[in-house]
Structure 1
Amino acid sequence: MTDKPKIEGLLEAALYAEDLDAAERFYGGVLGLEQIARVEERHVFYRVGQMVLLIFNPTQTVLGSTSTQMPVPAHGAHGQGHLCFRASAPQIAAWCDALTAEGVAIEADFHWPNGARSIYFRDPAGNSLELAEPRLWFNQ
């Protein structure tokens, strides 16, 4: 078996939402993420640290690209996706207050067996979002 090149990390992750206006209000307004692109009725993109969060309208991306300059293959998902954002314990506590003030319900708030805290909530499309301490997966 030959050595495989190392994958350095994730560059982007995607969630799907048909109502991009609601997604834009939530991710840009409620979560305060920096928007970097929007194509009406197709997608809205946000910077999250060293990654990009892609919010696609699945009714459009399933058609694929018509651009010969950017021939992105058709893709999409149906149903509720999941994404976890990294945050420190004090940041998670502050997010609980901020989300509640915005009318966003916290579905779960608990500590994992290793002591890391996670909170779960949903975006307007029903995607499950989580804020968790990095020690959930990595020794700190």
Structure 2
Amino acid sequence: MTGRAQDLIGGVLETSVYADDLEAARGFYGGVLGLTEIMALKGRHVFFRCGPGVLLVFRAEATQAPHPPGALPVPAHGAVGAGHVCLAVPEAGMEAIAAHLTAAGVAIESDFRWPSGVRSIYVRDPAGNSVEFASPRLWEMPE
């Protein structure tokens, strides 16, 4: 297969945030947001189906440790400090997601419209990561 990288890349398959308390993350992403948990390893990670992709929640300390002999050769990684993830919500569902978050006791940090008219709602997960909800139209480029 040949071609320019941008012609070969079809989208984001997975993205990750980091949390020290995986049970709190499980409660937020699985409980409050209702994402389906697809895999977990106690003390290391919990993964959720998120539309066609996967949201990975890792304990950074656990992912920075060297792999034991015979383990899959996934490079060590990890981040320090709060990260960011934006979850796609249809424009018609934005009011409902705001009401759902409020009813679940999740404080809305910011709720505004970009100059394009797209609405973004920002909250924090239990680890302090910035979680945004916005229409996929947010990144459509004007013609």
TM range (shorter): over 0.9
| Aligned with 1:87 (options 86, 89, 97) | 89
- Residue number in structure 2 paired with 1:4: 4
Residue 103 (str. 1) matches residue 105 (str. 2): yes
Per the TM alignment, residue 110 of structure 1 is displaced from its structure 2 partner at its CA by 0.7
Per the TM alignment, residue 130 of structure 1 is displaced from its structure 2 partner at its CA by 0.3
CA contact (8 A) 1:64 1:72 kept: no
Specify every segment of 5 or more residues in structure 1 that has no aligned partner in the other structure, as ranges.
none
The C-alpha deviation readout for 1:35-60, integer Å capped at 9, x for no partner, is 00000000000000110110000110
Per the TM alignment, residue 138 of structure 1 is displaced from its structure 2 partner at its CA by 1.5
- Residue number in structure 1 paired with 2:137: 135
Per the TM alignment, residue 90 of structure 1 is displaced from its structure 2 partner at its CA by 2.3
Residue 34 (str. 1) matches residue 20 (str. 2): no
Instruction: Give, as a single letter, the amino acid of the residue that structure 1 aligns with 2:91.
Output: A
| Aligned with 2:58 (options 47, 56, 59) | 56
**Identical columns (%):** 53
The C-alpha deviation readout for 1:66-109, integer Å capped at 9, x for no partner, is 25241211100010000001111221110111101111001111
Structure 2: distance between partners of 1:102 and 1:28 = 13
Tell me the secondary structure at the aligned position of residue 21 of structure 1. Answer: helix
Moved over 6 A (4+): none
Compared CA separation, residues 114 and 67, structure 1 to 2 (3 A): farther
Compared CA separation, residues 67 and 36, structure 1 to 2 (3 A): farther
Tell me the secondary structure at the aligned position of residue 78 of structure 1. Answer: coil
| TM-score calculated relative to the size of structure 1 | 0.93
Tell me the matched-pair count.
Answer: 139
| TM-score calculated relative to the size of structure 2 | 0.92
